[in-house]
Structure 1
Amino acid sequence: MDDQRAYVRRAKSGKFAGIWEIDCFFVPIPVDEGERPFFPKMFLIVDQSSGQILKHGLSNNTQMANDLADAFLALIEQAKLVPGEIWAAKEEVYVYLRQILRAFEPQAYLTDELPALEDVKDSMLDYFGVGMR
């Protein structure tokens, strides 16, 4: 948590722009680590206007909140840019990022439509042969 506070202080000087679409979802590809295989959870942060993946990562379900928050802050610090808006389809994204969203106060929307992220997600899952649709 101290690392996150330091990131927030450094990143607050960034400018606001763009819309970032964020989602977390289970990937239907088992990972064999430890005693039993498990299905990892993936997060994606995608720039809506370009469709570019800004950050992504895999995690087990219990670590997702920390991993997404750390990646989000690292992205802000790296890009020196804070999104003007955050779009997410699941409330859990806001729960994972609630402290960060309070610090930066971007407009945040819960929506059924994440056009750029869904395109990336579909392409990625098709590539791995596990298309969801």
Structure 2
Amino acid sequence: MPSESFFTVSAGVGVRSTTPEDYILREYRGQVDLYLQRWLAAPVESLAVIVYTTEAYLSDPDVKSEEAARIQQSGATHVLVAVLASAGPKAPLSPKRFVHNLAGGNKEAVQWTADEIRHKAAEVKAYHDKWCVVAD
């Protein structure tokens, strides 16, 4: 999206801090996790939206049956999946999402070789050692 739209959002990440007070606990998808406070978000460098066709969205193994029924009844042709305001290097998967995908949560991950998995794991670790997701 054009840079003129960056002011409408804050980046979803910031550089990790060693100050405990810079972090907050928040519940997300049924789990309590640690997040960097939003005021420490890095400046937005890119902004994108992720849109799936309804067919692609409904084939996602993470879509619950109630959600699938709601989408099917809506008559929607597409689903807005995410708004991504990024900063820093391109983020790999989060550690949780990486493991989730390896455990069968992503059709593509089933085909990764051991070398690809090790390479991706190193990328995930390097990124998440420096950057942290922010929250309010």
**Which range, TM-score by smaller chain?**
under 0.3
Name the structure, 1 or 2, with higher relative contact order (CA <8 Å, separation 6+): 2
Query: Which of the two has higher C-alpha Rg?
Result: 2
Q: TM-score, normalised by structure 2?
A: 0.23
Q: TM-score, normalised by structure 1?
A: 0.23
